[in-house]
Amino acid sequence: MVRIAACFSQWLKQTGVGAKDICYDHAIRYLRYRARHVRPYLGDRSALRHVIDFMGSEGVIPGNKIVARRMPPAEICAQAYAEYLRDAQALAETTIINYVPFIRDFLHHCFGDEEVTLSRLRAVDVVSFVQIRAPRLHLRRAKLMTTALRSFLRYVRYSGDVTLDLAAAVPVVANWSMPSIPRAISADQTRQLLASIDRRTAVGRRDYAVLLLLARLGLRSGAVAFLELDDIDWGSGQLSVRGKSGQRSELPLPADVGKAIAAYLRHGRPHSASRRVFLRAKAPITGFRGQSGVGSLVRHSLQRAGIDAPTLGAHQFRHGLATQMLSHGASLSEIGEVLGHRHPQTTKIYSKVDVKALRTLALSWPGGAR
């Protein structure tokens, strides 16, 4: 709370807002400003609310201004749910960050900017929200949305605000096996992107090494973000990578990737006590906060290079590597081993990709058609 209060105070000073003029609108404006520069934490809104309430109780801010400028009811309810997940359920911060935006949208869908009266919620409200939102989301995000919604509806029933078991009314998102072909960046696009990076600068050396890790080893963005200096064995040319399940796997470090990382460490990486390999270029000089930092790097690099890639995300490099391996004759089990898949079913999706190889298996039809 002290940290964000100090940052809020500095922002107020820069914008010329006096202490007696502070209201909740300023807190909301500051949080929007902060989100453009620093990844926000869910506790930020709650902390600022407590700061302003305290200033009101001490007479620094007129009481009528606080009452008139309170946060939207939907936001207050969403933040109360976030605090419940954090304090009572002890969920990871990343899980809370994933859940709360869906709940905020749900509350706006049901109540708009009016007072949130949870006892008015009915099954039809839940179903209509999912029917409207789910078709616009990727399958994985849609399933995450319904999981968050069930969690919230169990919470409001537990708190006594709702007597109905509305969690049971949340529709199940259809989960077709391998519904779509992974969107993969092509080898030519990857070469074009790497060639566009200016390796004469510190940021360019970092970005080049990150992109090369994604393209050559197919690492997940989170694995790249949390890679530490001790994970690289320069003597044996090995890289220790932590997977989604927390288990570590040892991967060979290709010579070009090793050279790119070494160039960044020697001539680009800022001085820092952090053990992370890749650091932010601007203060605070720390490692990326998570996979979103690597995703942002990829997005900006693609946009600067003017490459019309299938997506702007980092995962397309992983799909691209798998597609290239398949086209060069690698088996699905070999691809799964490189990508760190624990289950063969996960790799099976790539059997849809190699159309040329599948065409050779087709029987000849009269007239030579296949």
Asked whether the beta carbons of 79 and 37 are under 8 A apart, the reply is no
In the annotation, is 108 catalytic?
no
Catalytic residue among 122, 244, 275, 289: 244
Supply the DSSP string of 271-315, one letter for each residue.
P-S--BSSB-SSSS--B-SSHHHHHHHHHHHHHHHT---S-SSSH
Q: Is the pLDDT of residue 261 over 80?
A: yes
Q: Is the pLDDT of residue 214 over 80?
A: yes
Asked whether the beta carbons of 216 and 321 are under 8 A apart, the reply is yes
- CA distances to 92, 120, 260, 302, 313 from 81, rounded to whole Å, are 14, 18, 45, 37, 30
Q: How confident is the model at residue 208 (pLDDT cuts 50, 70, 90)?
A: very high
Measured at the alpha carbon of residue 204, what is the angle toward residues 208 and 196, in degrees to the nearest 5? 70
Each residue's pLDDT tens digit, 20-57:
667 666 776 776 666 555 555 656 667 777 777 776 66
Per-residue model confidence (pLDDT) at position 69 = 46
In the annotation, is 350 catalytic?
yes
Catalytic residue among 104, 199, 205, 318: 318
Token pair for 136: 């616009």
Q: How confident is the model at residue 11 (pLDDT cuts 50, 70, 90)?
A: confident
Q: Is the pLDDT of residue 4 over 50?
A: yes
Long-range contacts of 173-181 (CB under 8 A, 24+ apart): 173/130, 173/134, 173/139, 173/142, 173/143, 173/146, 175/139, 175/143, 178/348, 178/349, 178/352, 179/139, 181/349, 181/352, 181/353
Q: CB-based contacts of 242: which residues, under 8 Å, 6+ apart?
A: 223, 226, 248
The domain locations on the chain are 2-71, 80-169, 187-322
In the annotation, is 99 catalytic?
no
80-169: CATH number: 1.10.150
Per-residue model confidence (pLDDT) at position 123 = 94
Per-residue model confidence (pLDDT) at position 361 = 47
Q: What is the CATH class of 187-322?
A: mainly alpha
Measured at the alpha carbon of residue 216, what is the angle toward residues 227 and 275, in degrees to the nearest 5? 15
Per-residue model confidence (pLDDT) at position 341 = 52
Phi, psi of 249, rounded to the nearest 5 degrees: -130, 145
Per-residue model confidence (pLDDT) at position 275 = 93
In the annotation, is 220 catalytic?
yes
In the annotation, is 328 catalytic?
no
Q: Is the pLDDT of residue 168 over 90?
A: yes
Catalytic residue among 45, 133, 205, 220: 220
Rounded average pLDDT over 11-19: 71
Is the pTM value of this prediction over 0.75?
Answer: no
Each residue's pLDDT tens digit, 90-126:
888 788 888 999 999 999 999 998 899 999 999 999 9
In the annotation, is 318 catalytic?
yes
Per-residue model confidence (pLDDT) at position 310 = 80
User: What average pLDDT is seen over the chain?
Assistant: 80
Per-residue model confidence (pLDDT) at position 68 = 41
Catalytic residue among 199, 206, 269, 341: 341
Per-residue model confidence (pLDDT) at position 67 = 43
Per-residue model confidence (pLDDT) at position 323 = 73
Per-residue model confidence (pLDDT) at position 66 = 45
Each residue's pLDDT tens digit, 291-320:
788 989 999 999 999 998 888 888 788 877
Each residue's pLDDT tens digit, 262-285:
999 999 999 999 999 999 988 888
Asked whether the beta carbons of 276 and 227 are under 8 A apart, the reply is yes
